Structure 1
Amino acid sequence: MILNNSSRYSKLTIARHCLIMIGVFIFLSCSDDVTVVEEEMVLEVEIVEEEIEETTEPEEEVVVEEEQIEGVDFFLPNIDLSNWKVTLPIGSPDEVEPPEILDYAINERLIPYMYNDSTDGSLVFYTTPGSSTANSSYSRTELREQMVPGSNNTNWTFAEGGRMMGTLSVPEISTDASGNFHRTLVMQIHGRLTNDQRDLIGEDDNNAPPMLKIYWQKGKVRVLTKKLKDLNATDEEILHTDAWEDNEGHTFSEDIGIHTFNLEIIASDGRLEIILNENESVVYEDIHMQKWSVFENYFKAGNYLQTLDAGASAKVKYYDLEVTH
């Protein structure tokens, strides 16, 4: 009885083992199939992704232009030209008045002689011997004050007063045959006859002498004013240009060379003061200034080269220029 039960138990054990082996075989077979299917799916996904990558167009590169900033990337002069005209060393000579002068940066006539230097914020006045005005032999690229834009007929007297301030330099100027620098006028107060005065003395134009001339000369600032040849001259005789002559002049002690400097001119009733760099000045307050009160006046600023030498030239740079009355 015991033997029969043992035999039955052995058969059952063998059967269980067979079933377990069959189950394992089936599981492994199914796992292999799943792995194959998964590998095929991954491969298809990779192929699709490759196709997408191959067909994707590259994005266009966007170039952003950086905005230039005044005072950082470039500099402009602090000069309002609304009340100035300029005379050029060309033509008979040529002049450019407001409002045309306001577009000087794109004016082809002006560009060779009057233009911006954006590296230092200056307005450059370049000149060389060429055309001259009726009362001079020398050429200029020079501003002339116009209290009424476009008109020369409104001017000022010393009794009314005037003040001009400028920051400037003379970085380039030629030399003569002896190697000495030429000189150039950088500022003026010019006299003008009224129409009645012009007619009284029988002149063809309204020109009167310049009361003040300021030169760049040998690296220094030199000032000349006018004085009467005859203090007993009549009111009519005073109106003639030949009644006046240059005084002995004054040369400031500071050697400014090609460096930037400041000039201030203050004209008032019977008095004229010129100040260099706010620390050195010369004052004229005498009978000659009192007698000068009969004339009208206007300011001038720029580059009035005082030579006819072939090949001569000069550059004057203005950084600031301001006039008040």
Structure 2
Amino acid sequence: MEKLNIGIIYGGQSTEHEVSLRSAQSVLDALDKSRYTVSLIYISKKGEWLLADQSESIEVLEDGKDSVRLSILPSRQFISERGEHALDAVLPILHGTAGEDGIVQGVLQMMNIPYAGCNVRSSAVCMDKDMTKRLLKMEGIRVADWVLCRHSEKEEIDYGLVESELGLPMFIKPVNQGSSVGVSKVTDARTFQEALDLAFQFDTKVMIESAVRGREIEVSVLGNADPFVSVPGEIVANTDFYSYESKYIDENGAALEIPASLDDDTRTRIQKTAVDAYRILDCEGMSRVDVFLREDGEIIVNEINTLPGFTSISMYPKLLEASGISYAELLDRLIALSLERHELQSSLKTDLS
């Protein structure tokens, strides 16, 4: 069987640039080299697209030293001073803005290259926590109460009114960020203003959200029209909340319990809620659905992550591994799903003749 030429895109103009490097290395290590030829494409923090000279390790690249600068052709190809570089499919291992928000997906779609994960529309919607909540709420999915504050309104937001509506504690977070970047827990007027100032450093829209007391449960979903849902896992944070430091810096910041200790009915309800949210938001390929499980059994969807962490210890692959899908098989399925979707899209008419 002829090998597929698979591109791994990593790095990116995001606060999660370093997380992407770790995820991409795990992906590269796990890909079956007997089935795939791998091309490594690095997006620098300045937005340069660079093709690595080798495909043995994930590195921060420099133009002209260990890579060449890439330009785009709308025909499954990149071009550089060394010629054309055709790809059969791409694994966009990018996290955060300009990576999982539909921007890179749009570039790849314009280039007619199959890519793993959600389409442009669902990537953009799921990255925007406000839009995600609005759509889920419209369809009867329970979400935490929230107030939206835009940059133009930040001087007018009234702490007293927000507190009376949401109560304390509350969380303030940038709308279009991931990995808990810029997220703060608010307990009084002073921390409210500090949290707003921090969140507005990362986005022009900020969400003020009521705190939900409950267990943090996560589920991995894999598939297009007929998605597979993993066993649920639980995040047990040893810090005040599951912050960026808890996820990536403090090795004792949180424990992962896989599978989560749940009765059969609760597990089934969480899995159904995850698949319902996945379909409502038009997700494809993959997503991790995060929920809160309240003491009374109510399930509240927290967020849908369309490009979750892919390190060897990340929740998304670990949940699927616990459900019988190895890391290498997961990558095979994601590539196959991207080709399946591309074939279906290519069959659609683009003119009226």
Name the TM-score class by shorter chain.
Answer: under 0.3
TM-score calculated relative to the size of structure 2:
0.25
Task: Answer 1 or 2: higher relative contact order, Cα 8 Å, separation at least 6.
Answer: 1
TM-score calculated relative to the size of structure 1:
0.26
